[in-house]
Structure 1
Amino acid sequence: MTSATQLPLHEQTYSLEHDRFVDLLSQTENLLIIQDLDGVCMGLVKDPLDRQIDTGYVIATQAFDSHFYVLTNGEHIGERGVNGIIERAFANAVVVREQGHYLPGLAAGGVQWQTRQGELAHPGVSVAELAFLEQVPDRIRQCLRQFAQTQHLPLDSTTLENCIQSSALANVASPTANLNTFHSALAGDHNTYLALQQTMQSLMDTLLTEAAEQGLGDAFFVHYAPNHGRDETGQEVIWLSQGEESGTTDFQFMLRGAIKEAGVLALLNRYYAQRTGTYPLGKDFNVRVAPHDHQALIQLVQDHFDPAAMPLMVGVGDTVTSKVMEVQGQRVAKRGGSDRNFLHLIQDIGRTLEVGNVVTYIDSSGGELKNRRPLTIEHRQGQPVVIAGPGDPADQADPLTLNVVFPGGYQEYCAAFQTAAANRRSR
């Protein structure tokens, strides 16, 4: 899509000027791209084992070597990790490792670091914590089987077992219950699916209690995806299903501190070290020692990072929600989505330090998951214009601005990204 205004991208909202986005990625030398994965460079599917990634996109990321990192709540490794997806795409794990095709960056919300060669680490994570996490997938499977028996689910044994195996994600650092296949299999049985959400929430609460009894009371938290933001205590608010909306489908039992916004600072710290030889926050800084508060994170940047070396950051995500609800007689906007906070931090770092950081949104509503609102587009004078974003139209005070959007989903974004990579290589 072509240019339509002279405003810089970071001052625009819902811009479709993809040509200028490509130029920004191609021509900016001091650039740091921080990008989510599912729904951004891969389609959203019900079963993570069905995910596929384009090898052309993977190769294109190398044009931004040391300027590109992923930041995801999924994981690099394991049966459903992105490494396996890449290895299957290239049909040769040895080639992937030797040619550095693994995606560098932070997974599991920020506690799983990986290089392009697949070298892995879990900064700040203890052996006891990993041992507790190891038994969570079995607990999820047990819970699902008990629920199926108690609720007398109308599923044959093969379908039920497929749903259970697809739902229990044995991630090393972020074991997850993913209810997408159950939502599909229950075929509109809203009450049963709602009961399943509540059952899984109860299991997560039980696991937190058991962890505390083992001396790990401050070790974990539960990430709901998508969600309705956080409550007054800082806990994420589950999105219970309404109508055809699935609401929260992912119940991730995660290490405390594994929040994407903290991952932004961990990546920025590494980026500075590559360029300047010095880690502004120290070599051992990791998300588990980072503050959780938005303003505290910005203050950390102001206090420790040289503004003269600050890169132009481009944040890329697909999960941003808001819903205006009636709470005690007051209309309240519940803002959430697993990408919201890291995109918001990138935006506000740019505004605070007067760097033109760009928030980029990929419309993943065309995927298999039905829990996100599509962008609304009108044609004016023959040109497409986005008139409404992924949030509630009644939410008129959202602090997050989506500068550049890709209504065509991950395919449209990946095409632009690959064009930018080719241009950057030819500079």
Structure 2
Amino acid sequence: MAFSATSVPLHQQVLSLDHRAWVQFLATTPNVLIIQDLDGVCMELVADPLDRQIDLAYVQATQAFAGHFYVLTNGEHTGTRGVNPLVERAWGGHDQAKAHAGYLPGLAAGGVQWQGRTGQGSHPGVSAAELEFLAAVPGQMRAGLRAFFQQRPGLLAAAAMQQGIEASVLDNLASPTVNLNTLHAQLQAAGDRDGAIYADLQRAMAALMTNLLDQAAQRGLGESFFVHYAPNRGRGADGQEVLDPGTETESGTTDFQFMVRGAIKEAGVLALLNRYYAQHTGEFPLGEGFSVRQAPRSLPELLALAEAHFDPARMPTLVGVGDTVTSRWSLGTDGQPVVQRGGSDRLFLQLIQDLGKRFHRGNLVTYVDSSGGQVKNRKPLKIGQHNGLPSVLEGPGDPRDTTDPLRLNVVFPGGHRQYCAAFQSAAQQRVQST
């Protein structure tokens, strides 16, 4: 249980609603580095990414943290469904966004797509052959979806089926994705109340992803790609992510992302720290050409790499912000508890928490409740009262999962609007204090 205000430092709190202290922390900490997810954090989660909007006031607020703010997303900066078109629309066009250095800097596509403030971008560590293979993936995704519905004639009207497929295939350059949110809603409206057809669709998309991996291997790219499920149930014994079948009320895994191997958010944290050190010290601790593809994949190895190369005296205090953290508790066939922990933001937030302990910094893990959007795969925070004050009774995970190592220090139950308002307040105060 968490309280609205306490004398305990924020980084030692769990599920705190003390947004005033959070704002003051961002506004007054000189050597701070904010690493923030995008969808569900600073914009509403919607079924079709083309319907997203981003507030110009928020985008402008990020400029108050110039040199101290990066995004880290599995989505992309560029392309028709990237974030850049949203930013440009907010500014009033590409020229205005570039003139104001108004793009969001940081890593996209899990860490293999870099962008600076003026929108200049690159794909560090990705080969031309890999980009060529990725370019053909969206077409196969569309074909796979069409084949699924052709095998079930009459399930959806032809126009609805075509609209659903077009909304579902995200033709991202470095992380082509099938997003089933629109089709999930269409299937429910068509009578799939128990989710059986949707579950078949999930399995069909998982099979398609396996087929794409096999094709890559046949072209000598067997070590180039992996599949990311969002949300997921953590990793299985084979190290692969476990698909979340959902429930009658939750859609479970909606995003099937075909990604470049090594493009994992936790590795992106070190890549961003490498750039942060270079910007503030003139030197890249991990080398100027370092990319997430060179990073180890386990949290202990990433921590060891950080300890070996980053000067503790120059280590910033990190603030991680995300909205996708899950856990599910159940009893196994042997009667023993089984916990599956997942969510695309979990491990990058966990690494930020662990770096704080290892480098003796008060790093903050921030969680934004994105359950109020159109996407029905988020568990809302449970809010109640304690001693007459608002408090969080349950977080986003299973309340029976009492040993989760990830501690969400500060939470925003009001979603992206509440978070953006607090962020903008912190930006204003930071500008006034300089």
TM-score scaled by structure 1? 0.98
Q: 1:239 aligns with which of 231, 239, 244?
A: 244
Quick one: structure 1 residues 141 and 80, their matched pair in 2 at CA, closer, same or farther if it must change by over 3 Å? same
Aligned partners of 1:3, 1:253: CA distance in 2, in Å? 41
Aligned equivalent of 1:181: 182
Which ranges of 4 or more aligned residues in structure 1 deviate by more than 3 Å? none
| Cα offsets for 1:47-97 (capped at 9, x unmatched) | 000000000000000000010000000000000000001111222210001
Calculate the aligned-residue CA RMSD, in Å: 1.2
**Distance (Å, rounded) in 2 between the aligned partners of 1:164 and 1:224:** 18
How many residues are aligned here? 427
Cα distance between partner residues in 2 of 1:327 and 1:214: 40
1:331-342 superposed matches below 5 A: 331-342=337-348
- State the distance in 1 between where 2:332 and 2:111 align: 33
Pick aligned residue for 1:206 from 211, 216, 226? 211
- Which SS does the other structure have where 2:151 is aligned? helix
Query: What CA distance in whole angstroms lies between the structure 2 residues aligned with 1:9 and 1:236?
Result: 32
Describe the superposition over 1:276-297 as per-residue Cα deviations: whole angstroms up to 9, x where unpaired: 1111111111100100000000
Are the aligned partners of 1:320 and 1:337 in contact in 2 as well (CA < 8 Å)? yes
Give the one of 310, 313, 328 matched to 2:315.
310
Q: Distance in 2 between matches of 1:130 and 1:54?
A: 32
Give, as a single letter, the amino acid of the residue that structure 2 aligns with 1:75.
E
Match of 1:424 among 427, 430, 434: 430
Partners of 1:20 and 1:172 in 2: CA distance = 39
Q: 1:126 to 1:355 in 2, by over 3 A?
A: same
CA–CA distance in 2 between the matches of 1:303 and 1:154?
Answer: 57
Secondary structure, in 3 states, of the residue corresponding to 2:318?
strand
Q: What do residues 247-288 of structure 1 show as CA deviations (whole Å, max 9, x unaligned)?
A: 000000000000000000000010011111111111111100
Unaligned runs of 5+ in 1: none
1:114 has 2:138 as partner = no
Residues 292-311 of structure 1, C-alpha deviation per residue, up to 9 Å, x if partnerless? 00000001111111111110
1:357-379 Cα distance to aligned partner (Å, 9 max, x none): 00000000111111111111111
Asked if 2 retains the 8 angstrom alpha-carbon contact of 1:406 and 1:413, the reply is yes
Moved more, 154-163 or 199-208: 154-163
Opposite residue 169 of structure 1, the aligned amino acid is L
Does the 8 Å contact 2:111/2:265 carry over to 1? yes
TM-score w.r.t. length of structure 2? 0.97
- Assess if the C-alpha contact under 8 Å between 2:246 and 2:377 holds in 1: no
The one-letter code of the counterpart of 2:228 is H
Q: How does 1:229-268 map to 2 (within 5 A)?
A: 229-268=234-273
- Pairing 1:364-379 to 2, within 5 Å after superposition: 364-379=370-385
Match of 1:274 in 2: 279
1:242: how far off?
Answer: 2.2
Partner residue in 2 for 1:351: 357
Please tell me whether the aligned partners of residues 3 and 392 of structure 2 are also in contact (alpha carbons under 8 angstroms).
no
Give the corresponding residue for 2:27: 26
SS in 2 for 1:262: helix
Tell me, in whole angstroms, the C-alpha distance in 1 between the residues paired with 2:261 and 2:400.
33
- For 1:155 and 1:234, the matched residues in 2 are separated by 36
Whether the 8 Å CA contact 1:3–1:19 is kept in 2: the answer is: no
Q: Residue 226 of structure 2 corresponds to which residue in structure 1?
A: 221
Is the partner of 2:352 in helix, strand or coil? helix
The code of the aligned residue for 1:6 comes to S
**Corresponding residue for residue 97 of structure 1:** 98
Matches within 5 A, 1:321-332: 321-329=326-334, 330-332=336-338
Give the stretch that moved more between structures: 271-280 or 310-319.
271-280
Specify the alignment match of 2:394 in structure 1.
388
Residue identity matched to 1:248:
T
Give the letter aligned to residue 423 of structure 1. Answer: Q
C-alpha distance in 1 between matches for 2:286 and 2:254: 35
Unaligned runs of 5+ in 2: none
| C-alpha contact (below 8 Å) 2:3/2:390 kept by paired residues | no
The DSSP-based 3-state class of the residue aligned with 2:393 is: strand
Superimposed CA distance per residue, residues 221-249 of structure 1 (whole angstroms, 9 cap, x where no aligned partner) = 00000000111222111111321210000
Deviation at 1:153, TM superposition (A): 4.6
- The yes-or-no answer on 1:58 pairing with 2:59 is yes
Matched, 1:413 2:419: yes
